[in-house]
Amino acid sequence: MQVITLYITRTMNIILTSAHREEMLRYIYNHQNKDGGWGTHIEGHSTMLGTVVNYVALRLLGQPSRGGIKLVEKASKWIIDHGGATMIPSWGKPYLSRFVGPITDLVLSLRHELYGIPYEEIDWNKARHSCSKEDLYYPHPFIQNFLWDSLYFIGEPLLKRWPFSYIREKSLQKAIKNIHYEDQNTRYMDISSLEKVLNMLACWAEDPNSDAFKFHLARIHDFLWIAEDGMKMQNLGSQNWDTSFALQAIMASNLIDEYGSTLKRGKELLKNSQVRENPQGDFRSMFRSISKGAWSFSDRDTGWQVSDCTAEGLKVMLLLSQKTPDVAPVEPEILYDAVNILLSLQTKKGGLTAWEPKGAESWLEVCCREVL
């Protein structure tokens, strides 16, 4: 998805060196399944979502569709044999139909390669509900298809006409305001890589020369990760999560004396990584909740509270206070704020939500069932 966004915004050559591209290609090829496709995750069976987005990434990174690269041709055959890219699930459709960027020769070629029939002959009304059986985890309920069709056949024409067009414009202004708020409060990391890619494209569509878009570009490398299998874009780092468990393992193994300096440095990392402020301004009007005292999955920059990460961070701080007399005492405020976050995420039934207090009702799940 990041490669697609960089291509649309014409910033691929700015962000990705030839070495970046080579390692990304190596990663994609290393995780291609024997049947030519890719899974939604690296250990999964081939899906239309995984295969299409990886195939498009290969082409945008410079791989030819024909001419001797059998793995590319094999991927193309998998897509066509399984009904073409119109069968991609709802998660994938936005990535193939985003803000219309430059219609280049490569884009026109992809339109020919992905669908199996001429692009102009595709029935897009039918494609709206199409989903490959390899991707369909739960069939569409009638209400979901009804709502989607109503938005297209009734809502879309109305919103193009005054006075409804005025409502649409106000809604778009509200949407971009929320995007900017999320970006600023997470220092342009956002809650995950998936959201970052979408927010980044929205900022570019609003103003390609904006500071917001430039700030997004500056943080892309924070998501890139290279390992023995190549370079990938990780969802988020796991610094806080990994550190909490590593410190617990040292203490549980009675290795405190041998790793005393490690415990001290780990404690300082967690202390410095704890979120020390709530989102800026009237955060509740921006659909956010308190975050002061939380630990995120990665680091302090993201600013998003996570209940289990906070619980593990709190547990480590308490253990360090009890078992490591050489480590400086933990300030009470750190503990109080962490407990406050956990209590704020507790539901009426006693359990805890992952990210934020429960808001929506369960009946909303019928509106979007497919890949989740």
Q: Are 195 and 304 in contact (CB under 8 A)?
A: no
- Provide Rg for the chain, Cα atoms: 24
Mean pLDDT of the chain: 90
Write phi, then psi, for 28 (nearest 5 degrees).
Answer: -65, -45
> Active site includes 308?
yes
The model's pLDDT over 41-84, given as tens digits with 9 standing for 90+, comes to: 889 999 999 999 999 999 999 998 876 688 988 999 999 999 99
**Cα separation, 89 vs 132, whole angstroms:** 7
Predicted TM-score (pTM) of the model is 0.88
Q: Is the peptide bond before 208 cis (omega within 30 degrees of 0)?
A: no
Tokens read off for 224? 């890139």
Nearest by Cα to 275 from 177, 359, 189: 189
If you average pLDDT over residues 321-327, what whole number do you get? 76
The model's pLDDT over 96-129, given as tens digits with 9 standing for 90+, comes to: 887 677 889 999 999 999 998 999 999 988 888 8
Catalytic residue (one of 35, 229, 301, 308): 308
Q: Are 279 and 223 in contact (CB under 8 A)?
A: no
- In angstroms, what CA-CA distances link 194 with 11, 92, 170? 18, 12, 25
**Cα separation, 7 vs 56, whole angstroms:** 11
